[in-house]
Amino acid sequence: MGEDDDKKFSKQLIGKIVISKGGKRFGEVGDIIFETKSGELIHLVLKNQTPYTDKLELEKDKTGNSLIPFSSVIAVGDFLVIAEEDII
């Protein structure tokens, strides 16, 4: 994938609902944090996060939005599916 493909891919992720493979809903992808040098996706920034997500002590950005490590994503389709055990 070239840099343009990465950008297209990341734009497609914005607004997708984030769920765990067990079906717990976390919220929606509000933004994506990249490693600027490599272009590697590092974190998903959640928006409209659920009360369930509020209870988890996830890493937060400067504005208080929860961050989910991109490495925990196991499937991308209509939803973004994450492995919950990888983030807690």
Structure pTM? 0.87
- Look up the domain containing 71 and give its range: 3-86
Q: How many domains does the chain have?
A: 1
pLDDT the model gives residue 53 = 92
Residue 36: CATH number of its domain? 2.30.30.240
Query: pLDDT at position 3, please?
Result: 61
Query: For 20-36, what is each residue's pLDDT tens digit?
Result: 999 999 999 999 998 88
pLDDT at 87: 86
CB contact at 8 A, 38 and 31: no
Residues 6+ apart with CB under 8 A from 47: 27, 28, 29, 30, 31, 65
pLDDT score at 49: 94
Interatomic CA distance for residues 44 and 75, integer angstroms: 14
Amino acid in position 1: M
Q: Give every residue of the chain whose pLDDT is below 50, as ranges.
A: 1
Q: Are 16 and 26 in contact (CB under 8 A)?
A: no
